[in-house]
Structures are given as structure tokens and as C-alpha cells.
Amino acid sequence: MKSKGKKKEELDALKKELSEAKNLFVAQFQGMTVAQDAELRHKVRETKSKYRVVKNTLAKKAAEGTAAESVSKSFDGSTAIAYNASDPVSLAKALTAYAKANPLFVFKAGLVEGRVINLADIAHIAAMPSKEGLIAKLLFFNQCAGTTNRYRREWCRSQSGCGAETGRRAKEISRLGT
């Protein structure tokens, strides 16, 4: 049995982590084996997130005064929390993929950027591209748009260089063709 001092340290540590976490997913893991739990922990760590099995009373007390307090009513039964401060998409992807492969892992609640989300929204978040993927797409589109605009500007300059003469020739050619 833990001493009061150890319990207080554990509570303070969890409260600090929850206050820093902007994204949090609460799940039920009842019936999972140790190997399945270790696999999940590994996948969550790959996303630079944390995964913890918590006692409900400890989690409720630690959540007081933090954004996680809004999902604290879901701290009942066998409870695990996965959280990070930066990227909800990568964490949601890892957890959703794991939940599809292991039906014993069930979402109870979610918190993204400090706001409570519906359970159905977790799948939508997991379907989004990662932050790095979005940045890459933005840079790609920006580069494409810049290239296209450059070619358009060059074409316009080449056309305006001929002035009205080009317009007259185009009209003559169209008349001869009809």
C-alpha cells in the first residue's frame, strides 16, 4: 500500500501532465492482455504521446481545474487515458487503428485542443492528414500555384508585347476559318 506522501506525489504529477495536455482520449480496456496493452503503449509512444491506466478517483482529483475535468465523468470502470500537448491527429490515428484491431479497447470520451468532442468525431480526426502532411500539401499547392501564376504572367507579357496587332490577327484568322 502506498503512503500518503507517495499518493500525493502521484496526484501532483498526473495533475501537471493533465494541465499540459491539450488532447486527451479516455478509453475502456477491460479484458485486454498484457501483450495487447504493451503493443498499444508502443504505438502511443511512437506518436510522442503518453498512455496511462489510471485509478478513477486519482484521475478525477487530478482533472480538477484542468481541461480534462470536462471528461472526468467518464472515469468509471477500467480506465485508460492517452494524451499529448501537440498533435491530436497522430494520437487519434494510433488509437483508432488499435481499436479496430482490438474490439476490447473502447473509447469513452475525447478532448481535442481543450474541447470535448463526440465519440464519432474521433474517427473523423483520425482520417485527417497529419500536421506534417498538411504542411507538405500546403507547400505543394503553394508551389504549384506560384508556378502556374508565373507561366500565366509570362504568357500575358508575351501577348501584350504584340499589342493590338495580335488581336487583329486573331480576328482575321477566325473570320477566314468560318
Domain ranges for the chain, please list them.
4-128, 132-177
pLDDT at 134: 78
Q: Does residue 14 contact residue 68 with C-beta atoms inside 8 Å?
A: no
Percent of the chain with pLDDT over 70: 80
pLDDT at 160: 52
pLDDT at 163: 47
pLDDT at 61: 94
Nearest to 135 by CA among 85, 93, 87, 82: 87
Give the three cell numbers for residue 2.
502506498
Collect all residues with Cβ–Cβ distance below 8 Å to 114 and sequence separation of at least 6.
Answer: 22, 67
Q: In what order do the strands lie in the sheet with 50-54?
A: 50-54, 79-84, 23-28, 106-112, 115-117
Q: Does residue 82 contact residue 53 with C-beta atoms inside 8 Å?
A: no
Ranges of residues in the chain whose predicted pLDDT is under 70: 144-178
Q: What distance in Å separates the CA atoms of residue 162 and residue 167, rounded to the nearest whole number?
A: 9
Number of other residues whose CB lies within 10 A of the CB of residue 175 = 8
Architecture per CATH, domain 4-128, reads as 2-Layer Sandwich (3.30)
